Amino acid sequence: MRTIADQAEALAARRVSAVELAEQALSRIDAAQPSINAFITVDRAGALHAAREADMARESGHAQPLTGIPIAHKDVLMTAGLRTTCASRMLETFVAPYDAHVVRRLRDAGTVLVGKTNMDEFAMGSSSENSYFGAVHNPWNPRCVAGGSSGGSAAAVAAGLVAACTGTDTGGSIRQPAALSGICGLKPTYGLCSRYGLIAFASSLDTPGPLAHDAHGCALMLNAMAGHDARDSTSLVRPPTDYTRDLMASASARPLDGLRIGLPAQYFGDGVDADVARAVDAALAELRKLGASTVDITLPAVRYSVPVYYVIAPAEASSNLSRFDGVRYGHRAARYTDLDDMYRKTRAEGFGPEVKRRILVGTYVLSHGYYDAYYLKAQQVRRLIADDFVRAYASCDVIAGPTTPTAAFACGAKTGDPVQMYLNDIFTVAANLTGMPAISIPCGFGADGLPVGLQLQGNHFDEARLLNVAHRFQQVTDWHRRSPARSAAVSEVSVP
């Protein structure tokens, strides 16, 4: 019972109770924690209490689609009464006084929260190695990274500890770990899911979203997470959407007839590993069999996405993280001479190296004399990137390509070279700069038995289409059903 649908069916048929599901999840977490380190906090008592309430709701006929499903939240989302650390010494003992909006919506949907997942500190990283609580390891090969910054959430789902988790995506932090861990991860349109209660990294980029085994699971999670929130000025007012509706329609032999898939030249050039390219090409062939056509497109400004992102994101981080000063909450240095000394020592002790690096870069690009040359110019190029995508969607419906240029790499392989680490996001950051939705789905494996992800991008509010394309692909393939325990049997070639 790995997927949300499997667990929901078992609950509805009374083959298992929510309490039993929660106990099984907690046992799996305990067993897996020493090897993959996916969790920072496990809430055993809270999970069992919520599971008992879910069982009572089901007995009284008030069950919802997610009632009784064990999930976990990335430890950047506030959870009332539960530690929320952002994987940082700065917030090591901080207990959130309220729920993030998406946390509250998932509670109200009947989910059972089992704990908070490990991540890159303050969501800054591409490997989940920048955690005060230790690195996350990939369930397929614990010597490799799980991706980041939502690496703990991706690893927890991939290892079968829970059926779904929340993550946040600032430059690919849901999709990239989903690809490296062999699961599905959806970054919604910016503003579709409220950022209220999400501890901010880069406010114009941060986007909460779901990770699950399959597109159906992501759709069920998004149904609960999406919705307007007056407390978030960037939250969008949209009519309610059932993201599972198209998935439930019966599929014909060619369910994607008429779908135009754009293939940007910039996503298929040098720098993509041969294993990744082969898996993506095989996935595109399957989509053509389902009726889709492919068209060549160009996104000329997308080559600037990484440098633009690494100006804008650190600039916003420099501003957002100024609140962590030791005065109101979080870590405070034990010894200091005056207020300025307390600020300096608190921040020096509380933040890790990558967070300090990005604060310094962000402060520099916002400083007098450099704002116009760097930050303003980056915002102008951001607009050019968005314009390229708008033009592209005049000739295609979705855009496809690799999620990452490589499969998972060895732990420690890139920690000494920040630029090489940043280039892991080369195909994902554009969706954050434009605010458009994108999903990563498993599409194969490399020669070393590590998963490969296919990224599908869509125009604003096109989540339903992306989920439908992903679901139709998953109806004729089994990559999303593979588990790390079966990795030795994985082959490079496609689909049953």
For the chain, give every domain's residue range.
4-301+384-489
Which of these, 5, 35, 10, 37, lies nearest to 21 by C-alpha position?
10
Q: What residues does 438 pair with on adjacent strands?
A: 187, 457
HSE-CB at 90 with a 13 A cutoff on CA atoms is 28
Enzyme catalytic residues: 74, 149, 173
Q: Report the DSSP pairing between strands 184-187 and 293-297.
A: unpaired
What topology does CATH give the domain 4-301+384-489?
Amidase signature (AS) enzymes (3.90.1300)
What is the predicted pLDDT for the residue at 447?
Answer: 84
Summarised one tens digit per residue, pLDDT across range 322-368 is: 999 999 999 999 999 999 999 999 999 999 999 999 999 999 999 99
Which of these, 373, 362, 384, lies nearest to 203 by C-alpha position?
362
Residues in the chain: 496
Buried b (16+ CB within 10 A) or exposed e, 303-314: ebbbebbbbbbb
Whether residue 164 contacts residue 460, with contact meaning beta carbons closer than 8 Å, is answered with no
Structure tokens at 371: 């704002």
Q: Report the DSSP pairing between strands 293-297 and 260-264.
A: parallel
Structure tokens at 307: 């440098």
Which of these, 199, 44, 186, 193, lies nearest to 120 by C-alpha position?
199
Summarised one tens digit per residue, pLDDT across range 231-258 is: 999 999 999 999 999 998 877 889 999 9
Q: Which residues contact 49 (CB under 8 A, 6 or more apart)?
A: none
Question: How many Å apart are CA 490 and CA 300, to the nearest integer?
Answer: 36
Q: Which residues of the chain have pLDDT under 70?
A: 486-496
Question: How many Å apart are CA 292 and CA 296, to the nearest integer?
Answer: 13
Sign of the C-alpha dihedral computed for residues 116, 120, 121 and 122 taken in this order: negative
- What angle do helix axes 215-225 and 101-108 make, rounded to 10 degrees? 110
Structure tokens at 132: 């005060």
What is the predicted pLDDT for the residue at 492?
Answer: 35
Q: Is 437 helix (H, G, I), strand (E, B) or coil?
A: coil
Question: How many Å apart are CA 492 and CA 414, to the nearest integer?
Answer: 26
Element (H, E) at 40: strand 39-42
- Residue 261 has φ and ψ, to the nearest 5°, of -105, 120
Whether residue 122 contacts residue 128, with contact meaning beta carbons closer than 8 Å, is answered with no
Long-range Cβ contact pairs of 375-382 (< 8 A, separation 24 or more): 375/311, 375/312, 375/315, 377/311, 378/307, 378/308, 378/311, 378/312, 379/312, 381/301, 381/304, 381/308, 382/308, 382/312, 382/433
Strands (E), 170-217: 184-187, 207-212
Stated pTM of the model? 0.96
